[in-house]
Structure 1
Amino acid sequence: MAVVSHWLTRYVVAAILVMIAFFSRHALMHIIGGELTPFITFFPIVMVVALVLGLGPGIFASAIAAMMSAYYIFPPVGQLRYGETSYIYNIIVFIGMSMLMCLFAWLYERIRLRVSHLEAEHAADKVRRENLEGLVNDRTAELEEKNRKLVEEIAERERTEAEKRKVEAQLAQTQRIEALDRFAGGIAHDLNNILYPIIIDLEGLLEDEPKGTARSDILDQILKAAYRQRDLVKKILSFSRRSEQVLEPVHFRVLLEDAINFLRSSLPRTIEIQLHINTQSDVVMGDPVQIQQIIINLCQNAADAYASQKGTIEIRLANTHIQPLYAYQGMRAGDYLKLTVKDTGTGMKPEVMARVFEPFFTTKGIGKGTGMGLSIVHGIVKGHGGAVTVESEEGKGSLFTVYLPVWHESEYQRQVYHGESAPQVKGSEKILLVDDEEFIISSLKRTLASSGYRVVALTDGHEALKEFRDHPDEFDLVIADLTMPGMTGIELARKILEIRSDIPFILSTGYNNIISRQEAESFGIRELLLKPTGAQELRNAVRSALETRY
């Protein structure tokens, strides 16, 4: 290591050190009283110079030491004897040894510097390696955190997508069922219009026919077939939520337990029913008969899922709260009763599950099902302001969930329905009868005329309004169909009541989704008659409406 940077200074320092060594030799010789070889005097200095000041100053110091040894140390002292071999030999040996010492010192320094450099590089590598390991660990931790967040984000996105697909599927199913709802309502309306005169005329014919005759039996069989058709239409109306409902506060638990007791006696004993109830409030605003129909239909469907007629139906009833974000199928946010019916039967494929609430859709064999059970459940639940969902996996079973809003007394507005029939007596009053269907008009007119009433039958609302406007005091009652071209029954009722507010008005309809009894009463309509009625029900409604005049 050269501690002196300037080259001239290093050479001057080298010469000074050699001179100091020379004078130190003389001083030591006086002290010890004898001779000292030049090697002991100069070699350490030459090595120190070479180590400290570098190879050049070391060689320079060797040359000076050789010259001083040749003149002052090698005999004869004070003379230069270049002709003598021993003299030259001494000088060469001295110079060679000095140069060798310089070379050794230089090599040592080079090796030391190299080792120091390598150690420094190793230390630097170690630091870099530690820093790199730290960076790698930090980066690894950062990547692991990002990877964790990415996994969570992917999982959340998959959950969101799954929820989105579920909501879209529910929406598509709801829209499809709503379309079927409208379609079923239209069919029911047309069927009711067809059944209306058939039932009334058959009842009239049976009244005139002696009992026990072949003709009477034939008419009775036809009438029973018409009644069966009417019951089927009622099922369709239950699906489309257009059937008459008697809503009242009911304890769902009581209805559930009664239905379960009935099912235990009707289902095979190999099918076990497990009931779990955990509710604080079980009161709902509903139709007791229809609510029990929901329970029975779902349990019957679960029982049918067991091909071997052996298994378990698990029924649970609990309270739940639906948040606005999770409200679906027209549900409002709020408190609900949650009824679940679970089986571990055959389950359903996705394409079957997508159509399970459609009317007349069934996977059962011929004669084993009408395909109306679950569609009726859907219609009843929707009619009660709730929702029904299904989860199923082929081979593992199905889970049906029904949500019905919990009843709070402050929200209750009781629906009033007419119950007792009017006395079944004949009359002589004059009735204005309006319906756009000719065959309905003729049947109703014949039935009412047979009861003593005078009937003016018209098929156009405008014509009926003109007839009433011309003779307002001649009529005692008006009967009109709800859905007529040109002028609806409601419009006709409003205009007639403007002319004469005390005239009783009966509105007849194939389904009551357009207007309820309360709405009809708000227009001044006395009775809402649902097709297809029988002859006696028609007479009772007429008599009841006429008696309200007094």
Structure 2
Amino acid sequence: LSKNGENFLDCNDVVLNKYGYAKDELISAPAFTLYIEKEWKQLSNYLNKKSIIDSPVFTHVKKSGEEIIVELHKSEITFNEEQALLVIARDITKRIQAQDEKQIVQEQLYQSQKMEVVGKLAGGIAHDFNNLLTAINGYSDLALKKLDKDNDSYKDIKVIKDCGERAARLTKQLLGFSRKQIVEKINVDLNKTITELEKMLKRLIGEEISLKTTFQSPSCMIYADKSQLEQVIVNLVVNARDAIEGYGKIMISTTKEALTKEFIEQHNLNASNEYIKISVVDTGIGMSEEIRRKIFEPFFTTKEVGKGTGLGLSTVFGIMKQNKGVILVESEEGKGSEFNVYFPQIITESNVNEAKIFDSENLPTGDETILLVDDEDSIRNFLSEILEERGYKIIEASNGKEGLLKFKESNEKIHLLISDITMPKISGPELVDELRKLQPDIKAIFISGNVDNDFIKKHTSSPNTSFLHKPFTYDSIILKVNEILNK
């Protein structure tokens, strides 16, 4: 380069081959030719000894437009009997990419470890909440069934029940990011699900924000829990809404993606490279790199006190991990954000039966004998009352050891065991094993507010064993009992 660093004087063949220029195109061209505009001032300072950095890093642009990262070294020389600068550029693109990938992996590991710790805490909290909510929602449900709708107390109790159901949804979110939410997977068409949600989403975001949906293919099938999928979409749209000040746009799109081997390994995905991508793009305020690194942390929020739980994106993160997918985000302050979630494309044609439609005013009855075991008095009392109301004979026990003793003392056949899972002395699964040694055909329903899918697979594979998640309703427990007794 010339002494002041403004022009090229000469270059070797490696430069020509690497950057795609002919020699006469570079000679006498401005030195800035190979640099992106925002680095011109930094380059000028370096070449004119105004920078204290010995080996600065710059972005070079090839003639094709491809960018590479280089490390510069300069020295003063004599060229054609004039003072000049010899600048050596070393391509460090692969090294930087490797460092970036390592940092991404480290960040993912750190995030997973934090989620694991908070997930255990959340799971414990959800278990206690769900026990309380089973009694609150159950007794309010029971009271509503006993009252006429024009009774003065009906509206008050209905408010209690509605608040209880909202609290139940909150514990479901806690279980979502702790990855202990029970998953009931079916074949789901993403496009159809988004279309079904569109009307509700427009109400959520308000009239000042427009919502546009784009589907690359007529159908995008995945094997997933539909309620979880809806949670992902709603939470991402609500997050986008909150990032927009005044008027703005939210765009939702679905595309089929063939992921690279590097991408799959980097994000610890399944070996199959066929994925469906949901993109949620907003024209909001964007976010800084510091905030972007924290957005999936439980309870982290940039909203005002009382306007956000900080659970929305962490719930999405947990759901994607549970479904062997991934969520990524791109954002820049003042330029909006783009969230991309990747679900594996459908790999099985299996499906679950549609839920049976029933009349809550005409629930089934029975006359079988049921052994009811739970260490929570309020839950045991509630279940005993509603089951006796439907004609069943109930034997109660407050723990597994007492339940085993009462089974042995009973003079009549016990048809069904309803048991909590975690109890002192003898757990629910241990109790089932002991009872089936004495009576192999006894049926069982486990009830719990904090259990994962591994437990469900291990302990409910038999048609004589089922599971019901707390908090459950009056109707759901009656239907579950009728279902398993009539199998």
Shift of 1:171: 1.6
Change in Cα spacing, 1:270 to 1:247, as seen in structure 2 (3 Å) is same
**Aligned ranges for residues 403-482 of structure 1 at < 5 Å?**
403-409=342-348, 412-414=349-351, 419=356, 424-471=363-410, 473-482=412-421
Change in Cα spacing, 1:416 to 1:480, as seen in structure 2 (3 Å) is farther
Matched, 1:225 2:182: no
Matched, 1:378 2:317: yes
Change in Cα spacing, 1:481 to 1:417, as seen in structure 2 (3 Å) is farther
Q: What amino acid maps onto 1:532 in structure 2?
A: P
2:429 is matched with 490
Change in Cα spacing, 1:209 to 1:359, as seen in structure 2 (3 Å) is same
Higher helix proportion (structure 1 or 2): 1
Change in Cα spacing, 1:420 to 1:505, as seen in structure 2 (3 Å) is farther
Shift of 1:312: 5.8
Change in Cα spacing, 1:406 to 1:508, as seen in structure 2 (3 Å) is same
Q: C-alpha deviations, 1:316-344, integer Å up to 9, x for none?
A: 62412242674355522222122222334
Q: What amino acid maps onto 1:299 in structure 2?
A: V
1:530 is matched with 469
1:109 is matched with none
TM-score by length of 2: 0.72
Change in Cα spacing, 1:269 to 1:280, as seen in structure 2 (3 Å) is closer
* Distance in 1 between residues matched to 2:381 and 2:250, nearest whole Å: 56
* Distance in 1 between residues matched to 2:398 and 2:194, nearest whole Å: 48
**Aligned ranges for residues 362-373 of structure 1 at < 5 Å?**
362-373=301-312
2:111 is matched with 173
Shift of 1:277: 4.4
Change in Cα spacing, 1:217 to 1:434, as seen in structure 2 (3 Å) is same
Shift of 1:434: 0.9
**Aligned ranges for residues 299-448 of structure 1 at < 5 Å?**
299-311=237-249, 313=251, 315=253, 317-323=255-261, 326-328=264-266, 330-334=268-272, 335-409=274-348, 412-414=349-351, 419=356, 424-448=363-387
Contact 2:276 2:343 in 1 (8 A): yes
Matched, 1:252 2:190: yes
Which secondary structure state, in structure 2, belongs to the residue aligned with residue 457 of structure 1?
strand
Q: What amino acid maps onto 2:125 in structure 1?
A: I
Change in Cα spacing, 1:503 to 1:405, as seen in structure 2 (3 Å) is same
- Name the Cα RMSD after superposition: 3.3
Q: Flag structure 2 segments of 5+ consecutive residues without an equivalent.
A: 1-78, 81-85
Q: What amino acid maps onto 1:227 in structure 2?
A: E
2:58 is matched with none
Change in Cα spacing, 1:259 to 1:540, as seen in structure 2 (3 Å) is closer
* Distance in 1 between residues matched to 2:356 and 2:399, nearest whole Å: 31
Higher strand proportion (structure 1 or 2): 2
* Distance in 2 between residues matched to 1:336 and 1:159, nearest whole Å: 24
Q: Which of 169, 173, 177 in structure 2 is aligned with 1:239?
A: 177
Matched, 1:184 2:122: yes
Shift of 1:478: 1.0
Percent identity between matched residues is 32
Contact 2:204 2:238 in 1 (8 A): no
* Distance in 2 between residues matched to 1:430 and 1:228, nearest whole Å: 34
Q: Flag structure 1 segments of 5+ consecutive residues without an equivalent.
A: 1-135, 138-142
* Distance in 1 between residues matched to 2:389 and 2:485, nearest whole Å: 17
Q: Which of structures 1 and 2 has the bigger CA Rg?
A: 1
* Distance in 1 between residues matched to 2:259 and 2:394, nearest whole Å: 56
Contact 1:199 1:534 in 2 (8 A): yes
Q: C-alpha deviations, 1:291-315, integer Å up to 9, x for none?
A: 3442333233223222132356474
* Distance in 1 between residues matched to 2:178 and 2:314, nearest whole Å: 9
Which secondary structure state, in structure 2, belongs to the residue aligned with residue 189 of structure 1?
helix
Shift of 1:400: 1.2
Q: What amino acid maps onto 2:225 in structure 1?
A: D
Q: What amino acid maps onto 2:334 in structure 1?
A: G
Q: C-alpha deviations, 1:67-102, integer Å up to 9, x for none?
A: xxxxxxxxxxxxxxxxxxxxxxxxxxxxxxxxxxxx
